[in-house]
Amino acid sequence: MRALLDTVAFLWAIDSPELISRAAASVLADESALLEISAISISEIAVKRARGKLDFSRADVEQGIADLRVRVLPYAAEHSFRLFELPLHHTDPFDRQIIAQAMAEDIPVVTSDRIFGAYQGLKIIW
C-alpha cells in the first residue's frame, strides 16, 4: 500500500502520535506500506516556522522522515496542472497542492482534515 501523509498527520506522527486515528496508526505501523510526504509539506513547515507558527526545524523534519520511514514525493508539473480541475472546497494553498498531488498519483491521503473529503475521487485514510 502507498499513502501520502498530509502535513498535520506527519507532524502529529512525530510529535503527538496519540492524536493519530487507529486507521492511520495502522498504516504508519505497516512495514510493507510505502509512506510518502509531499515536498510541499516540507515547504509548508519551513514557511510556518519562519512565521513563528511552528517550532519544527529542518533537523526535526529530516529526523521525522527517517523515523517514520517516509519517502519525499517531489512536486511535479503534472501535479500543478491537476489544480486547474480542483473545485475550491479547500482554500489553503498547501493543502490544495497535496490534494492535487494525491489525485494525480492516485494514492490515498492520511489526513484528519474533513475538507479533503469534499473532493470526489480522493481516497482518505483516517
Fold entry, domain 2-125: Rossmann fold (3.40.50)
Mean of all residue pLDDT scores within the chain: 97
In angstroms, the CA 24 to CA 124 distance is 10
Question: Is the whole-model pTM more than 0.75?
Answer: yes
- Residue spans of the domains in the chain: they are 2-125
In angstroms, the CA 10 to CA 12 distance is 6
- Please report, as a single letter, which amino acid is at residue 9: A
pLDDT at 65: 98
Beta strands in 1-126 (DSSP E): 2-5, 34-38, 70-73, 109-110, 124-125
Q: Integer distance in angstroms from the first to the last C-alpha of the chain?
A: 15
Quick: pLDDT tens for 58-103. 999 999 999 999 999 999 999 999 999 999 999 999 999 999 999 9
pLDDT at 78: 97
pLDDT at 11: 98
pLDDT at 50: 98
